[in-house]
Amino acid sequence: MDCKSRSSTCIAPINIAVIKYWGKSDEEQIIPLNDSISITLDTDYMFTKTTATISPEFTQDSIVLNNEQGSGDGVRFQNCLSEVRKLAASSKHASTVEKSTWKVAIVSENNFPTKAGLASSASGYACLVFTLAQLYELESHQSELSALARRGSGSACRSLFGGFVRWFHDSQPCIARPIAEAEHWPELRCLVAVVSNTSKSVGSTEGMRRSAETSKLLEHRVKNVVRDRIEDIKMAILEKNFVKFAEITMRDSNQFHAICLDTYPPLFYMNSTSQAIIQLVHRYNQIRQSVKVAYTFDAGPNAVLFLEQAEISRFASVFYSVFGSTPHDQFFRGKVPDLVDPTEDVTSLVPEKALKGQVQYTIVCHVGQGPKNIDPTG
C-alpha cells in the first residue's frame, strides 16, 4: 500500500432498547415517531470491529462485512460516509480536508448473529462513524456522531454512548444522549439468550413502514403511552429501582410485539421458544414473590434478560436446567455464572414441554461503555 494511506480500527457495543423505537416520521432522515431508551452492553464478548482505510490510490469506496464483499454504493453506508466527509471537509486542518476527498475501504465484522434481532446494525453503523471520525481526527462531539450514525440505522445513534441512553425524537439535530453512565448501576446484569441465528424474515425498515401504515395500536402507543413510560423508566433507572424498571421493560416489549401482530399483514418476530422464556420469567418471579428478572425482545426470537447480580446464580441454574443441552461453560459465554442446584420450588417451574436445546447459548454481560479506538497507537 502507498505511504499516504491511513487506517484506524475501533470497536463499538450493541445496545438493547428497553423502550422500543418502532416507526419513523421521516424515512429518509430516519427520525423516529417516539423517544426510546436503551442500555449499552459491554464489549467483552459482543461487539462490532471495524477497520477503515483511506488512500489517494483507491478508486472507489468498498466494504467487506463479515468476510463478504458488500456494496460500497449502499444508500445508508453512503449517507454515513458523505456526512462524515462533510465534517472532514470543513476541518481547519488542511490534511484532513485533503483526506476527505480520498476513497475509503471498510472491513467490519460482528462476533454475534447478524440480522437476528441482536442489534448488529446498531453497533455496525456506530462503529463505522466512530472509526471514520478517528481516522479523520475529527474533533466532533459524540452527539454530532450520534446524528451521523442515525443515518445508517436509527438505533445506531444510541450505540455512540455507554450506559443508559435516550434517543430524542424531536431534538435538533435528532440525537441520543446518555441519562446515566455505565458505572451507575453496577449490579445490573444482562443475559442474551440466542434462540436462533437465522436472519429475520421482515427487516426492521420494512416492518416499521408496515406498522406505521396499518397499526392503530402504534398510533395509540405514540400518542398516549411512550411519553409517561420514558419518564417512569428514567426515574426507575436513576433510582436503581429494579422492580419498576423490570415491569416497564417487559410491558414495553410486549406492546411492541402486540403492534407487530396488529400490523397488517402481521409481523412475527418471536417464536414458541421466546414465548416459553416469557412464561418462565413470569413463573419465576411469581415463585420468588418479587420481580427479579425482566425480558425484552427486539425484531427476532432472541431474548434479552435483565436481572441483578444477586439473582444470577439462582436464575441461571433454572434457565440452564430448562433450556441447556450443552456443558454449562459452553451454554454460558462471557461472564460464566456459578450454578447452584435448583431448589424444589424452582424445579416445579419447568414447563412440561421439552425445551432443552431450544436456546443455543447465552451471553452474560453487564452495562458497558461506548465505542473505543483499538489502534496500537490509539
Binding site for ligand PMV (CB under 6 A): 17, 20-22, 36, 121-122, 153-155, 204, 298-299
How far lies 243's CA from each of 161, 240, 294, in Å?
Answer: 25, 9, 9
Least distance CB 335 / ligand PMV (angstroms): 23
Judged by beta carbon, residue 299 or residue 316, the one nearer ligand PMV is: 299
Closer CB to ligand PMV, residue 154 or residue 324?
154
- CB nearer ligand PMV, residue 280 or residue 299: 299
Our CB check for ligand PMV shows the closer of 152 and 337 to be 152
Question: In terms of CB distance, is 122 or 226 closer to ligand PMV?
Answer: 122
Residues in the chain: 378
CB of 153 to ligand PMV, least distance (A): 4
CB of 369 to ligand PMV, least distance (A): 19
Nearest approach, Cβ of residue 229 and ligand PMV (Å): 13
- The alpha carbon of 319 is separated from its chain's Cα centroid by a whole number of angstroms, namely 23
Dihedral sign from CA coordinates of 239, 145, 29, 151: negative
Residue type, 84: V
Contact 13, 125 (CB under 8 A): no
Closer residue to ligand PMV in complex, CB, 200/333: 200
Q: How far apart are CA 16 and CA 19, in angstroms?
A: 9
Buried b (16+ CB within 10 A) or exposed e, 309-330: eebbebbbbbbbbbbbeeeeee
Cβ 208 to ligand PMV, closest distance in Å? 7
Q: C-beta of 1: minimal distance to ligand PMV in Å?
A: 34
- The whole-angstrom separation of Cα 179 and Cα 20 is 16
Three-class HEC string of 36-85: EEEEEECCCCCCEEEEEEEECCCCCCEEEECCEECCCCCHHHHHHHHHHH
